[in-house]
Structure 1
Amino acid sequence: MRKLLFLAITLSLVTAATAQTSGNPIFPGWYADPEAAIFNNTYWVYPTYSDKYNKQVFFDAFSSPDLVHWTKHPHILDTSTIRWAHRAMWAPAITHKDGKYYFFFAANDIQNDSTIGGIGVAVANKPEGPYKDYLGKPLIDKFHNKAQPIDQAVFKDKDGQYYIIYGGWGHCNIAKLKSDFTGFEPFSDGSTFKEITPKGYVEGPWMFSRNGKYYFMWSEGGWTGPDYSVAYAIADAPTGPFQRIGKILQQDTTVGTGAGHHSVIHIPNTGDYYIVYHRHPLGDPDGNHRVTCIDHLYFDANGYIQPVKITNTGVTARPLTSGRER
């Protein structure tokens, strides 16, 4: 029996070590809302721990040299560090600036302006943390333009300006972050939180630029349902205006259901893009049972995003040669 067990473990380790595709999900466990980034020649994914709200009190991270072999970094941030957070820690966003890693997150699922919670910021010296509360309070703790302060993304424009894009309850705002991420700079018209909500928007915004255009992506439908999906728009500025073009990520009932809330990896100095997202396993009715997956993201000759084919195989190994972000 011991010999058989040893043989099984050995075969499993050999299979993992020689894997040529990531498979989907890319790592075990219930994880959603994945934020993907590239730091120091390494891929990183920062997801939401998918469980009941009162159990969502920490974040794990995962790193990989090639998109195939993943290492778990447990509890890089939790409520023992963020004293004002006590539940519903959601949808991380991360950026690197001046030697520090800034980790944006939502907590407490606030329902009004009198409740403590919203979007916070943590900081660390390494991508894997440990992260500490940066402000000692939320960065955004109120409803501006009716947007619930959740589901933040951080976008760095070509001029070096950092923006935060966020919002639930069918509304999305963009704001200009101060250079030290302690607050906001007003836009030229004097406003601080500018609404950029396109038709169909529900939550989960993401932005990237390509060939001088700004691609704004978001999730539609209900997060526990089969209609959860991702749509997008293109504009000439990060503030829009954004007109919905169409869906590019949705379920395939032969592979997985409710595919949505994503981020995008761009391999520096190449035309290679990947979409990292969550979906529900087939036949599993529990809405919290979400898994993190990766597939290719392609564009047509006119720059439009082609519909993503979700797979069980995932992507082939892609080691990095440059440490630049995303």
Structure 2
Amino acid sequence: MPGTYTNPVYHDTMADPFVLRHEGHYYAYGTAPAAADGKCFPVLRSPDLIGWEPLGHALVAPGGNDFWAPEVAFNEGRFYMYYSAQGIDGCDHQLRVAVSDRPEGPFLDTGRKLVPDQPFSIDAHPFRDQDGQWYLYYSVDFLELEGDHRVGTGIVVDRMLDMLTLAGEPRLAVRPHADWHLFLKQRSMYGKVYDWHTVEGPAVQRHAGRYYLFYSGGAWERENYGVSYVVADHPLGPFTRPDEGGGALLIRTAPGRVIGPGHNSFTLSPDGTQTWIVYHAWDVARTARRMCIDRMAWQDGRPRTAGPTWDEQPGPA
């Protein structure tokens, strides 16, 4: 019988949580301070998405000084961790890939920069379509106005030639386009000053033959951060905005309860019948971004969740 849970389901820092379901267990990876031995990214294990056992840290750091947003893909017997690192070869955040034979690691960096032509790249999300083709969604910066697009961080998608190599033909998925996507007014970037907007943290779900690209918009430190989505008929797009209009359509701040829920991943319940969103959120005191879960369902062709929740809820089936 399913148990119950109350968010957060893990009480230490676990930002940008990604959950991999593998051989009857769930493995969660997130952004948090490095371990005393220098390893990065805490990794947790759970049988049910509710009770989580720490397994240490997953990545052997390849140098650098800041590490964000790990996601792990399993393919042909190996585990591939996609993440960004700052400070390697004097660079800003750059997407990299590390490999392990076990979901808990240790993951060893391959030495690959996935998008070396970009000065800044973060938030890699590998997605495998039904035909077996892999795609990588990730965030980069845009400095030119175009239509109603704002200057700031947006999401592109590229085909993967193999688990270590992109085709090098990125296509636009979604750029910031709304007031609620504001990260910071008058931000100094690339030698100029901009009203900087952000959409980041891609996560794809296929439903009824269409591809829903969920993203987090706004400023991760503030109340405007939340999750919305765009839709396409193919993983490479073009993606269109839903008719419901602006705002974070899936989860957003619950004033006085939960602040800035976002940067999510998705997984299935143990019996495979339910989709669950895994995300981070600040407590009201803003002491840490902690891992939360809530069930997601489809109503009239649209994704819906009761989250963010903070009281006792029925657990995954």
TM-score by length of 1: 0.78
Secondary structure at 2:4 match in 1: coil
Q: Which residue among 166, 183, 193 is the counterpart of 2:170?
A: 193
Q: Partner of 2:71 in structure 1? A: 93
Q: Which residue among 8, 33, 39 is the counterpart of 2:16?
A: 33
Q: Partner of 2:192 in structure 1? A: none
Q: Which residue among 122, 126, 131 is the counterpart of 2:102?
A: 126
Distance 2:50 2:311 in 1: 11
- Residues 207 and 159 (structure 1 numbering): CA distance in 2 closer, same or farther, change over 3 Å? same
Distance 1:20 1:116 in 2: 44
Whichever residue aligns with residue 66 of structure 2, its letter is A
2:42 is equivalent to residue 64 of structure 1: no
- Residues 268 and 162 (structure 1 numbering): CA distance in 2 closer, same or farther, change over 3 Å? farther
Residue 137 of structure 1 and its aligned partner are, at CA, apart by 3.5
- The farther-off stretch of 101-110 and 62-71 is 101-110
Residue 213 of structure 1 and its aligned partner are, at CA, apart by 0.9
- Residues 108 and 164 (structure 1 numbering): CA distance in 2 closer, same or farther, change over 3 Å? same
Q: Which residue among 192, 199, 204 is the counterpart of 1:202?
A: 199
Contact 2:48–2:270 under 8 Å retained in 1: no
Contact 1:231–1:244 under 8 Å retained in 2: no
Identity %: 29
Q: Which residue among 161, 176, 201 is the counterpart of 1:178?
A: 161
Q: Deviations over 1:128-148 (max 9, x none)?
A: 111111x2232223328xxx3
Distance 2:171 2:97 in 1: 20
Residue 22 of structure 1 and its aligned partner are, at CA, apart by 2.9
2:213 is equivalent to residue 211 of structure 1: no
2:116 is equivalent to residue 141 of structure 1: yes
Structure with a larger share of its residues in strand: 2
Q: Partner of 1:238 in structure 2? A: 235
Distance 1:312 1:239 in 2: 36
Whichever residue aligns with residue 44 of structure 2, its letter is F
Q: Partner of 2:150 in structure 1? A: none
Task: Select the structure of larger CA radius of gyration.
Answer: 1
Residue 172 of structure 1 and its aligned partner are, at CA, apart by 1.3
- Residues 276 and 109 (structure 1 numbering): CA distance in 2 closer, same or farther, change over 3 Å? farther
Q: Partner of 1:280 in structure 2? A: 282
Distance 1:107 1:153 in 2: 15
Residue 114 of structure 1 and its aligned partner are, at CA, apart by 7.3
- Residues 314 and 141 (structure 1 numbering): CA distance in 2 closer, same or farther, change over 3 Å? farther
Secondary structure at 1:299 match in 2: strand
Unpaired runs of 5+ residues, structure 2, are 142-152, 179-197
Distance 1:116 1:254 in 2: 35
Q: Which residue among 26, 33, 40 is the counterpart of 1:43?
A: 26
Q: Which residue among 248, 251, 264 is the counterpart of 1:249?
A: 251
TM-score by length of 2: 0.80
- Residues 69 and 269 (structure 1 numbering): CA distance in 2 closer, same or farther, change over 3 Å? closer
Whichever residue aligns with residue 81 of structure 2, its letter is F
Whichever residue aligns with residue 220 of structure 1, its letter is G
How many positions carry a matched residue from both structures? 279
Contact 2:261–2:280 under 8 Å retained in 1: yes
Whichever residue aligns with residue 309 of structure 1, its letter is G
Residue 19 of structure 1 and its aligned partner are, at CA, apart by 10
Whichever residue aligns with residue 46 of structure 1, its letter is Y
Contact 1:294–1:314 under 8 Å retained in 2: no
Distance 1:297 1:266 in 2: 10
Q: Partner of 2:268 in structure 1? A: 266
- Residues 316 and 70 (structure 1 numbering): CA distance in 2 closer, same or farther, change over 3 Å? farther
Secondary structure at 1:227 match in 2: coil
Q: Deviations over 1:199-249 (max 9, x none)?
A: 345211111212211010101110100100011012111112212225211
